[in-house]
Chains A and B, each alone.
Chain A
Amino acid sequence: MSRIKLPQLTFWRVVLVIILIAGLYSTVIRFTRGLGASTALSDQFPWGLWIGFDVLCGVALAAGGFTLSAVVYIFHVERFRPIVRPAILTAFLGYLLVIVALIYDLGKPYNIWHPLVMWNTRSVMFEVAWCVMLYTLVLALEFSPMVFERWQLQKPLKIIHALTIPLVIVGVILSMLHQSSLGSLFLIVPHKLHALWYSPLLPVFFFISAVALGCAMTIFESFLSFRAFGKRLELDLLADLGKVMVVVLGVYLVLKGQDLLERGAWELAFEPTYAGRMFLAENLLGIIAPIILLLIARIRNNDFGLFVSAVMVVLGFIMNRLNVSITGIEANAGIFYFPSWMEIAVTTMIVALGFVLFGLAVRYLPVFPMKEQLPAERVVPLPAAALLHPAKRRTAALVLALTVILGGSAIALAYSGLQHRSRLMTTTDTPSTQPEAQVVEHSLQLPADKEFPQHEDSPGPVTFSHTTHVDPTQPSCTVCHARTFRIIETHQAPLSVNMHDRQACGLCHDGERAFSINDGCTTCHRLP
């Protein structure tokens, strides 16, 4: 009598099933009823979460792969060899997931092969398409030795081994092109992307931040796989990666600062606006905080400290990509986009799929070096466990304190930005006109009220007040002061035109844009 053994019911398995159900339902809706029914995208906002997160962040997952394979195979730094395989695995999964995400996001996914035969070499998207195709192929080949070793296939192993160096070189070149080209995609929208993120250096920024993310993901995964399988990398190797990350983040920070100064956009970062706050939060969380943490040797050589820093870099990186693709575009589009639950469900499903595949690969393939089968209680990168370790208690406390201070500030900044955004959403109905270029918010210092004395056959004097005519969330002087009213004339007699006609108040008070001048005289005129 053999009974069918049901798989154990664990918390994570239940979560996974829920994610799968929601994701599959969304998938059916997406492919039977189109993008309109399944996403929050619109003619005014054609790219959303699937591009901003799945594609932009998924591709960057591969950065660890090319960085480490270059360091080990090209520069012959043998120490890092144990890290190459998990990094290649991550890269390969990242690209597979990007392709899945593209199939969801493309309007006609069955035409995804078109760039193979229909060329436009002046399109960055064309470059992106070819990089995806070629680098997926390269990654599959770089990943294949793990499969061949597992099943002892000597012949293909020999062939792949001979190809290693050319493959790595091609892979590094393709990766550099691809990481930067995702930034280049946004070079064509100088008037649509907020000045805090639009820069001629976008391709460079995308490339550098991707390298930092590659290091962070390697550290992050190493700890996760240790928790799950007891397999992980040597701590001193990871600490070295931490050092590399500090340098890369430092270069990014310096370049970004120079770029903002040069373009005169740095002031925008300190405006109390949604965009400004999100920008600060992104850089505090993803760049400045991890640099501070990792510069302290005690933290860098501590597993918990390393883990926290890596998580910060990952979160900051995701914020950056979402800011470029969503926040920075929203700011100038005068429209607010929030993904539909189905977009989120699909994204969650793709990410979960990635975790599952990573777990399977680590379990069944020679990804991590084999010697590491440690007793599971030795180091667990969780605050509670780390605090219980008497030797490490002080370091853990320091990490926690810094995390609370820096991470907390970043969260507070993002929260105040979101509050500003919700204020904007309630006060302005989406302007259908083009927004004014770059809205800058200062504490408004408006001119004093202006008194127009009573003229012949006028019912009484009129007081014009700037406060009632300027929208504090989007102040703009040029709406009126471009040609209609010259600012300098304020001390002179009223305009020589009839105030009711199109040259003056009547321009807006036509019953369309504002109440009509015929809505009763006392609305404006004070009767004597």
Chain B
Amino acid sequence: MGISSQKALLFDSTRCIGCGACYVACKQVNRLPPAQENFLDEKLSAASVTVVNQRNGRFVRRLCMHCQNPTCVSVCPVAALEKTVEGPVIYHADRCMGCRYCMQACPFNVPTYEWNQTQPRIKKCTMCYERVKQGKSTACAEVCPTGATLFGNRDELIEEARARIRAHPAQYINHIYGLQEVGGTSVLVLSDVPIETLGYPTHVGTEPLPMLTWEVLRKIPNFVVVGSVLLGGIWWITKRRVEVQRAEQQEEV
């Protein structure tokens, strides 16, 4: 499976009517606590790994963006998070030790925690990985009545998004959110208003964040080798000096 057949989701906020079908279906498929009446006010939490909110008069979905080069995957010390070849970013609870660095580092503030469990897990959307592996669509895309959420190959969805912007230049801002943000994500968003007014972070840049720490980490082996030799050398030279001083003192005596 190459990068070209990676799966992704396209969310067109201009088509979303805020019905909450995706929110309910997600809860059913992932066996999460039941849906709330006033679900439009809900935040992402261990109980809801996708939510629909109202922002700027539009309905917007919040869910894991499934980055191409995920920050959470790079920061996890025990590789409990994994970017699969199919595209979804999945979580292995049995590896996790609960340091919550992924929550701290995620530029989209997506991962949430089971704060009230004694064996807590990170909770986030997994892009219905089990279903996707079987060739099915995600639950949210399957139930969306207006086609606001589409599931498919990432490159095909990018083409679709571009086609929509070309066909209705007045209806969309000319920006596919997720195409380049933090090096690209597998959830793409279309909008008719500035994307930041929908509550998506826009100042995250276009570079993958893991590069920031890798630049430091990759120097460690060199640092260890050079440092050890240097310290050993200093010890050897100064030791010699101390010995010489001692010998001179004895000669004087």
Which residues of chain A from 152 to 194 have a CB within 8 Å of any chain B CB? 165, 169-170, 172-173, 176-177, 180, 184-185, 187-192
User: Within 8 Å of chain A (Cβ to Cβ): is B250?
Assistant: no
Q: Which A residues are CB-close (under 8 A) to B193?
A: 483
User: Within 8 Å of chain B (Cβ to Cβ): is A5?
Assistant: no
- The segment from B31-39, B70-78, B150-158 that touches chain A is B70-78
B105-A169 in contact (CB<8A): no
Which B residue's beta carbon lies closest to that of A173?
B227
- The segment from B1-9, B135-143, B201-209 that touches chain A is B201-209
Q: Which B residues are CB-close (under 8 A) to A188?
A: 71, 74-75, 105, 209-210, 212-213
Which B residue's beta carbon lies closest to that of A73?
B235
B240 to chain A, nearest CB (A): 10
- The segment from A122-130, A288-296, A440-448 that touches chain B is A122-130
- The segment from A84-92, A110-118, A275-283, A388-396 that touches chain B is A110-118
A139 to chain B, nearest CB (A): 17
- Given A46-B104, A129-B77, A483-B194, the answer on whether A107 and B214 have CB atoms closer than 8 Å is no
User: Within 8 Å of chain A (Cβ to Cβ): is B231?
Assistant: yes
User: Within 8 Å of chain B (Cβ to Cβ): is A492?
Assistant: no
> Which of the four size classes fits the interface of chain A?
35 or more
- Given A37-B116, A482-B194, the answer on whether A107 and B100 have CB atoms closer than 8 Å is yes
- Given A173-B228, A184-B213, the answer on whether A510 and B97 have CB atoms closer than 8 Å is no
Which residues of chain B from 221 to 253 have a CB within 8 Å of any chain A CB? 223-224, 227-228, 231-232, 234-235, 238-239, 241-242
User: Within 8 Å of chain B (Cβ to Cβ): is A76?
Assistant: yes
In the assembly, what is the distance between CA of A75 and CA of B251, in Å? 24
- Given A108-B120, A434-B199, A482-B194, the answer on whether A125 and B212 have CB atoms closer than 8 Å is no
A43-B113 in contact (CB<8A): yes
User: Within 8 Å of chain B (Cβ to Cβ): is A453?
Assistant: no
Partner of B97, one of A112, A180, A502: A112
Which residues of chain B from 41 to 59 have a CB within 8 Å of any chain A CB? 43-46, 53-57
B47 to chain A, nearest CB (A): 11
User: Within 8 Å of chain B (Cβ to Cβ): is A463?
Assistant: no
> Which of the four size classes fits the interface of chain B?
35 or more
In the assembly, what is the distance between CA of A32 and CA of B76, in Å? 26
In the assembly, what is the distance between CA of A118 and CA of B93, in Å? 13
Taking each of A33, A433, A437, A507, which has the highest tally of chain B beta carbons within 10 Å of its own beta carbon?
Answer: A433
Partner of A169, one of B109, B202, B231: B231
A118-B78 in contact (CB<8A): yes
Which residues of chain A from 127 to 141 have a CB within 8 Å of any chain B CB? 127-129
Which B residue's beta carbon lies closest to that of A114?
B78
Q: Which B residues are CB-close (under 8 A) to A111?
A: 78, 95-98
Q: Which A residues are CB-close (under 8 A) to B100?
A: 46-47, 107
B213-A122 in contact (CB<8A): yes
Q: Which B residues are CB-close (under 8 A) to A170?
A: 228
User: Within 8 Å of chain A (Cβ to Cβ): is B129?
Assistant: no
User: Within 8 Å of chain A (Cβ to Cβ): is B216?
Assistant: yes
Contact mask for chain A residues 426-462; partner B; CB cutoff 8 A; 1 contact, 0 none: 0000001110010000000000000000000000000
- Given A106-B99, A111-B98, the answer on whether A120 and B77 have CB atoms closer than 8 Å is yes
User: Within 8 Å of chain B (Cβ to Cβ): is A474?
Assistant: no
A497 to chain B, nearest CB (A): 14
A-side residues, CB < 8 A to B, are: 31-37, 41-44, 46-47, 70, 73-76, 78, 105-109, 111-112, 114-115, 118-129, 165, 169-170, 172-173, 176-177, 180, 184-185, 187-192, 200, 203, 432-434, 437, 478-479, 482-483, 502, 507, 510, 512-513
* In the complex, the 10 A-B pairs of residues with the closest C-beta atoms, listed nearest first: A107-B98, A36-B115, A111-B97, A125-B77, A126-B77, A46-B103, A118-B78, A76-B238, A36-B116, A46-B100
Would you list 16 pairs from A and B whose C-beta atoms are within 8 A, ordered by A residue? A34-B115, A36-B115, A43-B46, A43-B103, A47-B100, A73-B235, A106-B97, A107-B99, A109-B97, A120-B77, A122-B214, A124-B217, A177-B223, A433-B199, A434-B201, A483-B194
